[in-house]
Chains A and B, each alone.
Chain A
Amino acid sequence: MIELDFPAVLAEWPLLAKGVVVTLGLTTVSAVLGIALGVACAWARTEGAAVLRVATTAYVEAIRNTPFIVQLFFVFFGLPALGVKLTPEWASVIAMVVNLGAYAAEIVRAGIQATPKGQIEAAISLALTPMQTFTRVVLPPALRKVWPAMVSQIIIVMLGSAVCGQISTEELSYAANLIQSRNFRAFEVFIVATVVYLLLSVMVRHLLNWLGSRFLFGGRRG
């Protein structure tokens, strides 16, 4: 029978707390910027000029078909060769934004394509500019349709941030690894980390569902 020693792990709570803060911080920044990037790319892929369309398609395909950790290593270990040196935290944020942006682009595009043509024609006949049509008529119902998928993707990116510890970003998994390399209580540490991740995911999902309906596309359904 394994003897579990949770006090040894919980005594390191400042490290864990810092890890939670960093993980949430990374997720918040990359969610906001990632959705913005995703919407921009979705617009470019549906409404943009041909060049823009090709460029965003290349970006989306490149990111969606490579592992996140490779993208992260590229930003942190690769870019310095071009003279771009980033702190581990910035490298993590950039990798997460770029990653989420590509997935968000496809999610938003799905919502845009589901918008009935008549709705767009109605907007144009009311003399709205193309930009107004996109931001006022097309985007809000599109976001509402795909919001659950978007929330899932943000959660995936948050859980994916666990690998940012590999480049010494001090997020939750990094804290867990550091604790277990000091007291060798790997089992307990990762049980704690698992529970914390689970709680974070549930909380973030509820928060995002609420935020989405409250601010992004209005409270009314239908």
Chain B
Amino acid sequence: MTTTKRHLLTAAAALAVCALSSAAFAQTALEAVQKAKLIKIAVPTDFPPYGFVGVDLQPQGLDVDMAKYIADKLGAKVELVAVTSGNRIPYLQTKKADLVISTLGKNPEREKVINFTAAYSPFFQAIFAAKSLSVKSLADLGGKSIAVTRGAIEDQELSKIAPAGTDIKRFEDNNATVSAFVSGQTQLIATGASVAGNMMQRNPQLGTEYKLLLKDSPNFIGVAKGEDALRLKVNEIIAAAKKAGDLDKMSQKWLGRPAGNLPE
């Protein structure tokens, strides 16, 4: 047998396997979940406080809580699938996961390949400082020192809106920015929700709290194309959770700020 022929045969066999497996998936994801009482949800494990591995080696965080919450409302057990930002959409496309709850922002490029539910949690760049420091509006930043990572989105936003007289200290990377704030070299810090959440968890003695918003880009749950039944069901759950205040509770627990007004 020539190599070409062998390749053709392999390809044919592969096609046959694909056809069979897609036949197995002919039922909708929602039906499959309800039948098996098991839902596979992709969560991050490298992105505190949204998803990370705790000291007990179990995944935890806002996204993990949300995954458990949704599974619970669907009456199913949850199987958490660890993903990274690079592979979370392929996991959904190849049905290795039914849902992706992994700090997924919505944009037109992504909407071409997957669908999104309503937003479930905020992601934002904001200004944080100790509770004892009074910062009610942007004008209050004048004369205060604030650490920010040079060139990051929060640097761009802050440079645009900070009043004259704000002492903006720019650092090389997030670690240096956080160190500067934690060691008391600056009074405030402007950074992303994940960095701030992580920092607050590790340094509870600082009593850091959320002060002012710089930029909002909420997280959505990703659903595979064609799984509208599941998407609508999840939307129902999110809407109910929002009403019951559960989304706010989760956000407060992990990010130090209520979920606020999330887009549908």
Contact = CB atoms under 8 A, between A and B. Distances in A.
Given A178-B150, A181-B151, A182-B151, A81 B183 contact: yes
Nearest to B159: A182
B185 A178 contact: no
Contacts of B147: 168
Interface string B154-197: 01000000000000011110001001100111000000000000
Nearest to B170: A168
A166 B176 contact: yes
Given A80-B183, A85-B185, A181-B151, A167 B176 contact: yes
Query: Does more than half of chain B's interface fall in helix, strand or loop, or is it mixed?
Result: mixed
Given A85-B185, A168-B169, A168-B171, A77 B179 contact: yes
B151 A77 contact: no
A167 B151 contact: no
Interface residues of A, number: 16
A77 B150 contact: no
B180 A167 contact: yes
Interface in A140-178: 165-168, 174, 177-178
Given A167-B176, A182-B151, A77 B185 contact: yes
Contacts of B176: 166-167
Contacts of A111: none
A81 B155 CA distance: 27
A34 interface: no
Given A76-B180, A77-B185, A182-B151, 16 more contacts: A77-B179, A77-B180, A77-B183, A80-B183, A85-B184, A85-B185, A88-B169, A88-B185, A167-B176, A167-B180, A167-B185, A168-B147, A168-B171, A168-B180, A174-B170, A177-B172
A67 to B, nearest CB: 15
Contacts, number: 38
B188 to A, nearest CB: 14
Interface of B: 147, 150-151, 155, 169-172, 176, 179-180, 183-185
Contacts of A165: 172
A178 B170 contact: yes
Nearest to B183: A80
Given A77-B180, A80-B185, A166 B172 contact: yes
A178 B172 CA distance: 10
A81 B185 CA distance: 11
Contacts of B172: 165-166, 177
A32 to B, nearest CB: 26
Contacts of B155: 181
A22 to B, nearest CB: 14
A35 to B, nearest CB: 29
Interface in A109-126: none
Contacts of B170: 168, 174, 178
23 contacts: A76-B180, A76-B183, A76-B185, A77-B179, A77-B180, A78-B183, A80-B184, A85-B184, A85-B185, A88-B185, A165-B172, A166-B176, A167-B171, A167-B176, A167-B185, A168-B169, A168-B170, A168-B171, A168-B180, A177-B150, A177-B172, A181-B150, A181-B155
A176 to B, nearest CB: 11
Interface in A63-100: 76-78, 80-81, 85, 88
Nearest to A184: B151
Contacts of A77: 179-180, 183, 185
Contacts of B151: 181-182
Contacts of B179: 77
A103 B151 CA distance: 36
A182 B147 CA distance: 17
Nearest to B156: A182
Nearest to B168: A168
Contacts of A182: 151
